[in-house]
């Protein structure tokens, strides 16, 4: 691997942060796991242990849920005005912004993502999400309803009330963004939270917890329990005193969450996997579509739920697009997250690297061919080469299943109906894109695609204000935008005769 530059020096506060085992935040106190156990988190750029964190399990989840329940029912939180809640959230965002460089470094170290990306995308997006939802705290409204029951006069209106204690289980691909995205609407609507970060990347969520008190958010409103999915996560999903679970991760675990939630019929929202089609028509501005398709798959080492992992190109431009994407892919500077010139970091873990490589092997055994890439890079850290696969078809595992790594399959098409059948021929429905200069065709295709987001002549554009979520097995509900507040509120109808 070409390592032309040096890694940046680690900030003093970050070095001190990872030097000590990190406790969990329960009821405003930093505590060890009841079992006393800890587990390591790794730096994927080196494969070395980065830090140790508390290994919370069922007992700790019980403590955290009890704290969240008490804060919801009895604490000062329920009497704090919406305006003050919004101001607290804004302070929370300001504090995060003030410590942006520390968070960017910690995110890069724990997840492996390029420091440049953490600085440019992860931290500013997290700040923006908190601010966007801070604005909503004062705007969660019900309606007045003109009812006609029994011919009498009634006043009827709806209230939108916080759903209660919320369990939030998040993945490792955008650790801080996932935490702020989930916390934002919960705080804006007056809920209390138990957050469980992914075992691979617990550190930035914990560091965010350090800012909670300084922002003035009362004890017990935000609790953060680190631990494994099968123990801590499962206990949270099954907990009888949790009113709602918000989960982001694999479709497989999403189904386990649904089963676990059945005990008390808690509300569930799910943001799951994808296998998003990215469609390039021959009449597109090909010079824009090529980098668009390249970034659409290789950003964040392909570990993006809405990655454009199935690239469909109209046959007349197939060779040109394959060449263009392959050339750009071969120039991506793969390197350790903490090198400022790195464009693509490692994947998050040894397990994920092996999973991606075994997908590649399966593709090759079924006849796929790598134009560039095709396996691991180097033997230190968890690097996978950006890979462009051709000779693929919809029967292959690499085309059907979410790889969640830097691998794109490129397939030609000529007939639009056949293309749509293939693009929609997946259990997923998270996102899709279409590249064409023909406005009518663009909007027709957008309407035919069974996906929660469709990009036209761009890829991967997300915003705190724009709803995001999946059709089919890509999820339940929509996050971001005002839609997300519906997931955190109950509607109450109030009705009284007035004559």
**Would you give the distance in Å from CA 178 to the centre of its chain?**
5
What string marks each residue from 182 to 221 as x (binds ligand NAP by CB under 6 A) or -?
--------------x-xxx---------------------
Q: Give all strands of the β-sheet with 144-145 in edge-to-edge order.
A: 144-145, 154-162, 489-497
DSSP string, 415-455: -HHHHHHHHH-SS--SEEEEE-S-HHHHHHHHHHS-SSEEE
Per CB under 6 A, contacts with ligand NAP among 415-474 are none
Which of 211, 237, 454, 480 binds ligand NAP (CB under 6 A)? It is: 237
| Burial 149-173, CB ≥16 within 10 A → b, else e | eeeeeeeeeeebebbbbbbbbbbbb
> What are the structure tokens assigned to 96, written together?
């995060």
What is the SS3 assignment for 80? coil
What string marks each residue from 79 to 118 as x (binds Mg ion by CB under 5 A) or -?
-------------------------------x--------
Kindly indicate which of the ranges 23-31, 134-142, 225-233, 369-377 contains the residues binding ligand NAP, using the contact rule CB under 6 A.
225-233
Q: What does 41 interact with, of ligand NAP, Mg ion, none (CB < 5 to 8 A by kind)?
A: Mg ion
To the nearest whole angstrom, how small is the minimum distance from the Cβ of residue 483 to ligand NAP?
18
Tell me the C-alpha distance between 425 and 450, whole Å: 9
To the nearest whole angstrom, how small is the minimum distance from the Cβ of residue 110 to Mg ion?
4
Tell me the C-alpha distance between 305 and 37, whole Å: 32
Neighbours of 416 (CB within 10 A): 15
Kindly indicate which of the ranges 18-26, 69-77, 139-147, 223-231 contains the residues binding ligand NAP, using the contact rule CB under 6 A.
223-231
Neighbours of 297 (CB within 10 A): 31
Going from the C-alpha of 259 to that of each of 227, 234, 256, 263, 440, the distances in angstroms are 20, 10, 5, 8, 43
Q: What are the start-end ranges of the H helices in 144-271?
A: 175-189, 203-209, 234-238, 251-261
Judge whether 12 and 26 are in contact, CB under 8 Å: no
Nearer to ligand NAP by C-beta: 104 or 205? 205
Q: Catalytic residue among 107, 271, 314, 448, which?
A: 271
> Is 490 among the residues known to form the active site?
no
Nearer to ligand NAP by C-beta: 30 or 228? 228
To the nearest 10°, report the CA torsion of 240, 178, 127, 104.
Answer: 130
Q: Catalytic residue among 107, 199, 305, 402, which?
A: 305
Q: What angle do CA 227, 233, 234 make, to 5 degrees?
A: 130
Number of residues that bind ligand NAP (CB under 6 A): 27
What string marks each residue from 41 to 60 as x (binds Mg ion by CB under 5 A) or -?
xx------------------
Kindly indicate which of the ranges 46-54, 230-238, 330-338, 368-376 contains the residues binding ligand NAP, using the contact rule CB under 6 A.
230-238
DSSP string, 99-128: THHHHHHHHHHHH---HHHIIIIIHHHHHH
To the nearest whole angstrom, how small is the minimum distance from the Cβ of residue 478 to ligand NAP?
14
Q: What does 172 interact with, of ligand NAP, Mg ion, none (CB < 5 to 8 A by kind)?
A: ligand NAP
To the nearest whole angstrom, how small is the minimum distance from the Cβ of residue 247 to Mg ion?
20
> What are the structure tokens assigned to 61, written together?
């989840």
Q: What does 80 interact with, of Mg ion, ligand NAP, none (CB < 5 to 8 A by kind)?
A: none
Per CB under 6 A, contacts with ligand NAP among 302-321 are 305
Nearest to 399 by CA among 276, 249, 317: 276
To the nearest whole angstrom, how small is the minimum distance from the Cβ of residue 491 to Mg ion?
40
482 contact partners, CB below 8 Å, separation of at least 6: 136
Per CB under 6 A, contacts with ligand NAP among 384-403 are 402
To the nearest whole angstrom, how small is the minimum distance from the Cβ of residue 256 to ligand NAP?
4
> Is 305 among the residues known to form the active site?
yes
Q: What angle do CA 116, 6, 12 make, to 5 degrees?
A: 75
Per CB under 5 A, contacts with Mg ion among 199-238 are 200
Which of 3, 250, 327, 427 binds ligand NAP (CB under 6 A)? It is: 250
Judge whether 355 and 405 are in contact, CB under 8 Å: yes
What string marks each residue from 144 to 183 as x (binds ligand NAP by CB under 6 A) or -?
-------------------------xxxxx----------
Catalytic amino acids? Answer: 271, 305
Q: Which residues bind ligand NAP (CB under 6 A)?
A: 169-173, 196, 198-200, 228-230, 233-234, 237, 248-250, 253, 256-257, 272-273, 305, 355, 402, 404
Q: Which residues bind Mg ion (CB under 5 A)?
A: 41-42, 110, 200
């Amino acid at each position: 691997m070409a390592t032309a530059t040096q890694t940046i020096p680690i900030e003093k506060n970050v070095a001190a942060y990872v030097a000590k085992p990190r406790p969990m935040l329960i009821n405003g106190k930093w505590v060890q796991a009841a079992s006393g156990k800890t587990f390591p988190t790794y730096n994927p750029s080196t494969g070395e242990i980065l830090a140790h964190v508390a290994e919370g399990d069922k007992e700790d989840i019980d403590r955290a849920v009890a704290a969240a329940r008490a804060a919801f029912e009895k604490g000062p939180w329920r009497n704090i005005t919406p305006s003050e809640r919004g101001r607290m959230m804004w302070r929370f965002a300001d504090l995060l912004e003030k410590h942006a460089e520390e968070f960017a470094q910690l995110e890069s170290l724990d997840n492996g993502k390029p420091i440049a990306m953490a600085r440019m995308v992860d931290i500013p997006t997290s700040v923006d999400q908190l601010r966007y939802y801070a604005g909503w705290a004062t705007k969660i409204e019900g309606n007045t309803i003109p009812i006609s029951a029994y011919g009498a006069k009634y006043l009827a209106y709806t209230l939108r009330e916080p759903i209660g204690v919320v369990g939030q289980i998040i993945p490792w691909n955008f650790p801080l963004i996932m935490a702020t995205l989930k916390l934002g609407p919960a705080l804006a609507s007056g809920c209390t939270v138990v957050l469980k970060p992914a075992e691979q990347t617990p550190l930035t969520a914990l560091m965010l917890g350090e800012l909670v008190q300084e922002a003035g958010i009362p004890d017990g409103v935000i609790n953060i329990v680190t631990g494994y999915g099968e123990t801590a996560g499962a206990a949270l999903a099954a907990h009888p005193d949790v009113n709602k679970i918000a989960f982001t991760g694999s479709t497989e675990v999403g189904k386990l969450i649904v089963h676990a939630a059945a005990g008390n019929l808690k509300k569930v929202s799910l943001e799951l996997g994808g296998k998003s089609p990215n469609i390039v028509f021959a009449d597109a501005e090909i010079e824009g579509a090529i980098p668009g398709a390249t970034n659409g798959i290789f950003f964040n080492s392909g570990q993006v739920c809405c990655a454009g992992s199935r690239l469909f190109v109209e046959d007349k431009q197939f060779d040109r697009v394959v060449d263009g994407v392959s050339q750009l892919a071969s120039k991506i500077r793969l390197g350790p997250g903490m090198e400022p010139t790195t464009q693509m970091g490692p994947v998050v873990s040894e397990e994920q690297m092996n999973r991606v490589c075994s997908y590649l092997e399966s593709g090759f055994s079924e006849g796929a061919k790598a134009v560039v890439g095709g396996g691991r890079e180097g033997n230190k850290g968890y690097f996978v080469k950006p890979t462009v696969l051709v000779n693929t078809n919809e029967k292959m595992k690499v085309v059907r299943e979410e790889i969640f790594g830097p691998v794109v399959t490129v397939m030609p098409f000529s007939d639009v109906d056949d293309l749509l059948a293939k693009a929609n021929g997946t259990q997923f429905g998270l996102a899709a894109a279409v590249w064409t200069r023909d406005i009518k065709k663009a909007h027709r295709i957008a309407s035919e695609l069974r996906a929660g987001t469709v990009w036209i002549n761009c890829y991967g554009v997300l915003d705190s204000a724009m709803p995001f979520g999946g059709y089919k097995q890509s999820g339940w509900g929509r996050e971001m935008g005002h839609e997300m507040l519906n997931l955190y509120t109950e509607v109450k109808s109030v009705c009284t005769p007035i004559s």
